[in-house]
Amino acid sequence: MARYTCSFILSIPIEHLQPLLVDLLQDCDLEIKYYTTDYIMAREIPGNISFSKMVTAEVLIDKSTATETETRMSIVIKNEELPLQLDNHCRQTFDFIKQAIERSRHWHLIESIAG
């Protein structure tokens, strides 16, 4: 199973972050399957890629450390594909979503740490 993670610190109030992330994931061609104020799960839309390569994205928003101006969050991008190549579909999708978060005009990126 391929799995890629990244943590972010963003300059945005926590109450504004979740709806903006839902829109961002949808703009990345992911379908929102479930969300709460501190968790979002989205998946690639079936039909364009084989089932084992379909990516699931999970976003975890850290409510316990959020301030009025700063919010921490983590993303996990995964699929059932074995990561036999460094540039696999899951990695490409992870890089695309990570860049979309880092370049979004809706917040200021303070820190990004890929794991």
Average pLDDT over residues 7-32: 95
- Distance between CA atoms of 37 and 27, rounded to whole angstroms? 19
* Domain assignment of residue 56, given as a range: 2-114
- Comparing C-alpha atoms, which of 53, 115, 42 is closest to residue 84? 53
pLDDT at 97: 97
Given a cut of 90, whether residue 96 has pLDDT beyond it is yes
CB-based contact 62:72 (threshold 8 Å): yes
CB of 91 closer than 8 Å to CB of 1: no
**Total tally of structural domains belonging to the chain:** 1
- Lowest mean pLDDT segment, chosen from 38-42, 61-65, 66-70, 81-85: 81-85
Q: How many other CB atoms are there within 10 angstroms of residue 57's CB atom? A: 23
pLDDT for residue 87: 86
Give Cα separations from 86 to 18, 34, 55, 99 (angstroms): 31, 29, 16, 18
Residue 29 has pLDDT above 90, yes or no: yes
Instruction: State the chain's mean pLDDT as an integer.
Output: 93
Over residues 78-94, the mean pLDDT reads 89
Average pLDDT rounded to a whole number, residues 82-91: 86
Residue 54: HSE in the Cβ half-sphere, 13 Å Cα cutoff: 13
Pair 79, 2: CB distance under 8 Å: yes
Instruction: Check pLDDT > 80 for residue 4.
Output: yes
Q: What is the CATH number of the domain that holds 10?
A: 3.30.530.20
